[in-house]
Structure 1
Amino acid sequence: MMQWLTELNPIILALLATLFTWGCTAFGAAFVFSTKKANQLVFDNMLAFAGGVMIAASFWSLLSPAIERAEAQSVPAYIPAAVGFLLGGLFLLLVDRILPMINEDLYFKEITNRKAKHRTAMLVFSITMHNIPEGLAVGVAFGALATDLTSSALSGAIALALGIGIQNIPEGTAVSIPLRREGMSTRKSFFYGQFSGMVEPIAAVIGAATVIIIEPLLPYALSFAAGAMIFVVAKEVIPGSQERGSVQLTTMSLMIGFVVMMILDVALG
């Protein structure tokens, strides 16, 4: 399987990986067809597990390779890693200032009134903007394979896509089910729930192509993606998984996710 994958263009791999993450968003949104109420405890633990995977992947799949590649450049290796990492967090901080993450009071209140179209459009646009860095992170990880086509690098990129995909399942549900609960049709609720995932394949292709064409940017791009991922985990994934009170259980789920990703990366590397 790995042998076949290594023969594919990294941009194609990035596209395939983010089609998977988009599919996970659609899978989560599809729960609207069976229920108006999600099993919140299950989704909280899925979100926490994905957070652990994303934290581990941010280091082993993004930050550590960034430092290794920066060692071949004229500047100290820690500079691209530090600059890129902080820029990734700063970028999402600015995005979050303009478009706050999902806020039920803002987006779902009176969704059936005359302002429904505006609220829905803002909801989808907000989540879409926050999914761009996730797509870029996957794209950069696969784009790096153009200069380091090893099984460990490939497995790290795949694990990163897997973690983001798991995180996208409850995200899709978090959009579609509240929309359905507030009166929108099932099909429209599903459509809007999965819609935000469409941007990830586009962002991934752009990210992969950019680091292949401009190779010196690779350490900065990998670190940027790591910073963006850690920002998402710290600000949204962890608080979102614990806001309903299952703190101890979700904390253990996060740690298990971290360990699973660590084992995959170290064992396959």
Structure 2
Amino acid sequence: MFDSIIHFFESIDPILAAFLATTFTWGLTAFGASFVFFFKTMNRVVLDGMLGFTGGVMVAASFWSLLAPAIEMSHGEGFLKVIPAAVGFALGALFIFGLDKILPHMHINFKETEGIKSPWQRTTLLVLAITLHNIPEGLAVGVLFGGVAAGIPEASIAGAVTLAIGIGIQNFPEGIAVSMPLRRMGMSRTKSFMYGQSSAIVEPIFGVLGAVAVTFFTPILPYALAFAAGAMIFVVVEEVIPETQQDKNTDIATLGFIGGFIVMMILDVALG
């Protein structure tokens, strides 16, 4: 089945492939959000475990799918070889840091609001928080497909599809993490679902932007891959992991993290 998927993506334009792959990741967010039609609440232990899993997938993807290829395709030896990855990684983290300080958003626990002060409702602030997560995820998938379009040997359709599968898997609990709190606040099932799935709408947008940028500016690919990795790691350390530590479920969240890391590592090494 995986071979058939790879063959399909190899037969179409890489930019279109980036759009379809990130639409898939968006779709799994919507699938997670759809659980609001069947449940009003979710056990906090389960949610923390799933968020830990999300963090593990993001960290593993950052190394196996982004940083390692970025270093491999860079020219030079020693320090020169790692400079593009180091610079891109730092810029990616700073990019999300800047958005984090500017864009108003609220954490899942509804206790912490960040960014500039805003009269926006808590619903909007929560959706914006998860939207921040999804920007680097869409960018990461798009950049890999852009590398394929540019003919970079280290970038492969299999690697890009594998990353999209991993991102999609971890998007599932993110959809739940947005929709369930909204439903618990008294919002209707339909509205909770709509807000939950809309948090990932940026993924196809940034997926296409990343693919197009790399296609036209091929030398930036190592920087772009590391940029996406830096952005993802910032999100994990600044938001995902702390969110799992709010209650007394730290061990469950940690095991979820380990599980997510293992799943993504296996996917990337076995399929990518």
TM-score where L is the length of structure 1? 0.85
- Distance (Å, rounded) in 2 between the aligned partners of 1:8 and 1:46: 34
Seen in structure 2, the aligned counterparts of structure 1 residues 94 and 26 have a Cα distance that, compared at 3 Å, is same
Seen in structure 2, the aligned counterparts of structure 1 residues 130 and 257 have a Cα distance that, compared at 3 Å, is closer
Could you tell me which residue of structure 1 aligns to residue 266 of structure 2?
A: 263
- Distance (Å, rounded) in 2 between the aligned partners of 1:142 and 1:101: 32
- Residue 197 of structure 1 aligns to a residue whose secondary structure is coil
Higher helix share: 1
Q: CA deviation at 1:92?
A: 0.9
Unaligned 5+ runs, structure 1: 108-114
Q: CA deviation at 1:101?
A: 4.6
Which of 75, 86, 102 is 2:107 aligned to?
102
Q: Deviations over 1:61-90 (max 9, x none)?
A: 1111111222179x9221111000011111
Seen in structure 2, the aligned counterparts of structure 1 residues 190 and 97 have a Cα distance that, compared at 3 Å, is same
2:47–2:177: 8 Å Cα contact kept in structure 1?
no
1:47–1:166: 8 Å Cα contact kept in structure 2?
no
Q: CA deviation at 1:261?
A: 2.3
Q: CA deviation at 1:231?
A: 1.1
Could you tell me which residue of structure 2 aligns to residue 136 of structure 1?
A: 139
Q: What percent of counterpart residues are identical?
A: 57
1:131–1:197: 8 Å Cα contact kept in structure 2?
yes
Alignment of 1:171-182 (within 5 A): 171-182=174-185
Q: 1:228 aligned to 2:231?
A: yes
For 1:86, the aligned partner's letter is A
Unaligned 5+ runs, structure 2: 114-118
Seen in structure 2, the aligned counterparts of structure 1 residues 45 and 118 have a Cα distance that, compared at 3 Å, is closer
For 1:168, the aligned partner's letter is N
- Distance (Å, rounded) in 1 between the aligned partners of 2:112 and 2:264: 35
- Residue 245 of structure 1 aligns to a residue whose secondary structure is coil
1:66–1:219: 8 Å Cα contact kept in structure 2?
yes
- Residue 40 of structure 2 aligns to a residue whose secondary structure is coil
For 2:60, the aligned partner's letter is A
- Residue 184 of structure 1 aligns to a residue whose secondary structure is coil
- Residue 24 of structure 2 aligns to a residue whose secondary structure is helix
* Matched length: 259
For 2:166, the aligned partner's letter is G
Could you tell me which residue of structure 2 aligns to residue 110 of structure 1?
A: none
Seen in structure 2, the aligned counterparts of structure 1 residues 214 and 39 have a Cα distance that, compared at 3 Å, is same
1:136–1:203: 8 Å Cα contact kept in structure 2?
yes
Q: Deviations over 1:130-155 (max 9, x none)?
A: 422221111112222222467x8333
Which of 10, 19, 23 is 1:19 aligned to?
23
- Residue 70 of structure 1 aligns to a residue whose secondary structure is coil
- RMSD between superposed Cα atoms in Å: 2.5
Q: 1:30 aligned to 2:30?
A: no
Which of 221, 228, 240 is 1:218 aligned to?
221
